[in-house]
Structure 1
Amino acid sequence: METAGLTFRDATDADVDTIVALVESAYRGDSSRVGWTTEADILEGQRTDPEGVREIVKSPDSRLLTVERNGEVVACCQLEHRGAYAYFGMFAVSPALQGGGLGKVIIAEAERAVRESWGVTEMHMTVISVREELIAWYERRGYRRTGKTTPFPYGDERFGVPQRAGLEFELLIKPLV
């Protein structure tokens, strides 16, 4: 599907390395500081790896929505069917393109796609609770904080190396009606 000069499609095995590089550039290291979604001050190490991305691509209950502009992958997000709701994760926009409204278009398309494909009535996501600016952005898109948290997986470097104690994920929910 094409929206505002963007092409949306499901990722394939051929996209795995590109997606890993995009996600890493949006969340980790100095390249991520160009955008506003960086986690570089709270987490070091990797955000994802080829095995994790390949699992999402291959899972029958997941889609890795890939967003292209002029043939170049500029964003992605994971959509996972979990019964009555869909889970939204691994949302990454190229740091150089952040702040220009691209995220709003992508999340709206993701919400439309899960309603249409799976008939779900809610979108769920988890956000590191100290990411107040990011949570506020999602709240402006209609997501609400639930106060329900799960601990960050300290010691599992597949999710990064925490730079502070007390990190946790908070569940955000949006009705899709």
Structure 2
Amino acid sequence: MNTAAPIFRDATETDLDALLALIQSAYRGDASRVGWTTEADILDGARTDAESVLKVIKSPDSRLLTAERDGRIVACCHLQHRGEHAYFGMFAVSPTLQGAGLGKLVLAEAERHARDGWKVAEMHMTVISAREDLIAWYERRGYRRTGQMRPFPYGEERFGIPLRDDLEFELLVKPLA
């Protein structure tokens, strides 16, 4: 396994196909079951779409950070500047590389950019509350559960097709100072 440090860069429109494949493979379908971040038992369908990814790439207050190894995108995350805080989302690590520390490196780079580049004091994210293993991973990295919940957008297939009726998002927050 290649454990070399990844090369970080902002995504461009030419990365679209690779990003869509990576994000889908990390969360949905049988390919996602190779890793531990799969949502295949709670959601079906697409994790995102080309329009949503392009919007992030083109937005002046966002960046879609990619991590490359050997010229291949192996991880990504969305960062959005929201005044006093940054929002972290669309986090994907290739399922075959999960559990080897790459996710920690990407998260640390995202936090560094938000803190040093945008001078924000906090990072916010929302996680499906049923994903206890994922929430625990974030808690080990300094994020705290807020108890603030937001309903899952049932009926909006661009977020996926729910396989359960109890899905909701919880806000997690981490101070960056």
Normalised by the length of structure 1, the TM-score is 0.97
User: Which residue in 2 is equivalent to 1:136?
Assistant: 136
User: Which residue in 2 is equivalent to 1:104?
Assistant: 104
Which aligned pairs between 1:86-165 and structure 2 lie closer than 5 A? 86-165=86-165
| Runs of 4+ in structure 1 over 6 Å off | none
SS of match in other structure, 1:39: coil
Write the deviation string for residues 71-125 of structure 1: whole angstroms up to 9, x where unpaired: 1100000000000000000000000000011111110111001111110000000
Write the deviation string for residues 124-165 of structure 1: whole angstroms up to 9, x where unpaired: 000000000000000000000000000000000000000000
CA–CA separation in structure 2 for the residues paired with 1:168 and 1:41: 15
User: Which residue in 1 is equivalent to 2:24?
Assistant: 24
Deviation at 1:70? 1.1
Q: Identity of aligned pairs, percent?
A: 71
SS of match in other structure, 1:60: coil
Q: Which runs of 5+ in 1 are unaligned?
A: none
* AA in 2 matched with 1:6: P
* AA in 2 matched with 1:26: A
SS of match in other structure, 2:139: helix
User: Which residue in 1 is equivalent to 2:175?
Assistant: 175
CA–CA separation in structure 2 for the residues paired with 1:131 and 1:55: 27
Which aligned pairs between 1:29-108 and structure 2 lie closer than 5 A? 29-108=29-108
CA–CA separation in structure 2 for the residues paired with 1:166 and 1:151: 9
Normalised by the length of structure 2, the TM-score is 0.97
CA–CA separation in structure 2 for the residues paired with 1:10 and 1:78: 10
